[in-house]
Amino acid sequence: MNFLRNLLASILGCLVAFGLLFGMFMIFLALVSSADDGVVVKKNSILEISFTEPIRDYLGKDETDPFAGFWDDEAGLDEIVHTIKVAGDDENIRGISLTTSFVQAGLAQVQEIRKALKDFKDTGKFIYAHSDYFTQKDYYLASVADEIYLNPVGGMDFKGLSTEVLYFKDLQEKTGVKMEVIRHGKYKSAVEPYLSNTMSPENREQIQELITSLWDEMLGEIGTSRGMSTDRLNVVADTLGGRTPEFAVASGLVDGNLYFDEYENLMKESIGIDQNDDLNYVSFQDYIPIASGTRFHTGKDKVAVIYAQGEIYYGEGSKEFIGQGLMSSALQKAAKNNRVKAIVLRIDSPGGSALVSDIIWREVELAKKEKPVVVSFGNVAASGGYYIGVGGDKIYAEPTTITGSIGVFGTIPNISELAGDIGINAEQVGTNKNSVDYSLFEPMSNSFRDVVQEGIEDTYNTFLERVAAGRNMSVEEVDALAQGRVWSGVDAKENGLVDELGSLEDAIAAAAEMAEMDTYGIRKYPKYKSDFERFMENFGGAKAKIGEALIQEEIGNEAYQILKEFKQLTKQKGIQAKMPFSLNIK
């Protein structure tokens, strides 16, 4: 009887829980529906843009999913660019108010958004920008505006780009926990922090040239918008000429110091309404679903855009990382789909697993036999990120894309010194000479190191061959550009690693032209699991996400990024084709 009672109670509990979930789902649908119905774009509306959440190239949302975006706190670059373009054609949108501070996006992403804003302004509409504090990336974005205003007691950062690399050699010696390093490439400095306490001349050289090229690109666009020469802007940066609101005005970086209410009055004057009237704001997030109903590319024939974003690991993949599962499936579907006439592979990745990179490279090669494949590089296309795209028929990069890093390495943790200090001794038994696997608790043997080094050399040579074949260069020519060195998009075009400088839209247009299509639609891959599916699959995942957010809030963003890097290090398996260092350019 107890068993039956417990069984019935369990069934009843499940039914009640399901009923509650279903009820919550229906309530949410009603709220979403009513929210959408309430968004009205009135005449003389101002589109209010404030990018407060992280920006990815692509979120892979299912537009039919009512829960799309409910748990995500990110924005998709594809959505952002499309929405700004729609606003440019919307007769009810008079202009844009840009109020972004501390934008969470890569430099190439910011550059692409800036281009979209410039196109908007070219339609004859205005863009005004205001901030309490401009970071350099914020200011680069805001500089496209007709007028820029800063809070009278606010601030801005305009001093040139810099970055920092942490070194751990002494820490390893003090703790007895070290990373055994096997590498190829004099510039492959991803592992340098484990081998030295100081930066090598080769690493300093490439970082200096990289950030200088990125800074020059930023200054060129800022100067064009603000009517200032690059030399003048560098003088402002060298003298910290924007360090106070007053200096920022005097230096020509901003047009005035206004509180937000004064800034709003200025916009009212611009559109010809009374100072006592309210501005008709439309938030960018509310306008995204409205804009999604507009299609600039239509037609039965399609260009498939396949997004590869994140580090490269062995596995299925997701919007956070690239795996061979989703990528191979997307490339195969696009290649076999008769409606798809051309493929664009959009890459934003610092690299990762060399094995997975080669698997994806092979799928690109197979797809290329069926239809044109054009590659578009985003923020980063380094090492494995470059590897997976080098087989494309044509490669586009943004001028600010971090590109190249043709080199490989392996890092293996070892705690033999720590184990000895605390009294741990590991003994191994095996049947054959090499049957005993590598042990964390024993020093790495020369024979094991030789085997790993052999794998590194083979992988590096294969990488060179892939690049040589894809770029119509000799292996020797590629090797001279390789050694793990990274380049800006501008330099990568000059040395032949990419074909053209341009945006994702430029790459799509090129793919359509190669397929001889005058009209075409866009089909995006891959489709990730919906938010609702992931929520129902894993309640624990939702809690983990909340926990990560709380940790980030408590320890700060910079410390949290370091923590994430250590976590990602534990996921690395096999030989890595990865960007030579973690760059936080600021």
pLDDT for 143 beyond 90: yes
DSSP 96: E
The average pLDDT across 192-217 equals 91
Report pLDDT for 38. Answer: 58
375 pLDDT higher than 80 = yes
Task: Quote the pLDDT of residue 87.
Answer: 97
DSSP state of 186: T
Q: State yes or no: pLDDT of 543 exceeds 60.
A: no
Residue ranges of the domains in the chain? 40-159+240-291, 302-425+437-578
- CA 536 vs. chain centroid, Å, equals 27
Rounded to an integer, the average pLDDT of 132-146 is 97
pLDDT reading at 23 higher than 70: no
Residue 5 has pLDDT above 60, yes or no: no
Mean of the pLDDT values across residues 263-279? 92
Catalytic residue numbers, as ranges:
188, 383
**Residues 158, 241 contacting (CB under 8 angstroms):** yes
Tokens of 320: 């956070």
Going by C-alpha positions, the residue among 564, 569, 561, 567 that lies closest to residue 586 is 561
As a residue count, the chain comes to: 586
Instruction: Tell me: pLDDT of 449 over 50.
Output: yes
Lowest mean pLDDT among 21-25, 100-104, 111-115, 144-148: 21-25
Q: What's the pTM?
A: 0.86
User: Are the C-beta atoms of residues 136 and 105 closer than 8 Å to each other?
Assistant: no
Rounded Cα gap, residues 475 and 327, in angstroms: 27
Question: Measured between alpha carbons, how far is 233 from 225 in angstroms, rounded to an integer?
Answer: 12
pLDDT score recorded for residue 542? 47
Mean pLDDT of the chain: 86
Closest to 394 in 3D by CA, of 314, 515, 499: 499
**Residue 435: its pLDDT value, please?**
81
pLDDT by residue (tens digit) across 30-59? 444 444 455 789 999 999 999 988 999 999
Q: Name the CATH topology of 302-425+437-578.
A: 2-enoyl-CoA Hydratase; Chain A, domain 1 (3.90.226)
Strands (E), 266-369: 281-283, 302-309, 311-312, 321-322, 340-349, 351-353
pLDDT, tens digit (0-9, with 9 covering 90-100), for 497-526: 999 999 999 999 999 999 999 999 999 999
Token digits for 287?
């306008």
* Whole-angstrom distance, CA of residue 219 vs CA of residue 217: 6
Please give the pLDDT value at position 331.
98
Question: Under CATH, which number does the domain 40-159+240-291 receive?
Answer: 3.90.226.10
pLDDT > 90: percent of the chain: 60
pLDDT surpassing 60 at residue 211 = yes
Predicted pLDDT of residue 474: 96
Same fold: 40-159+240-291 with 302-425+437-578 = yes
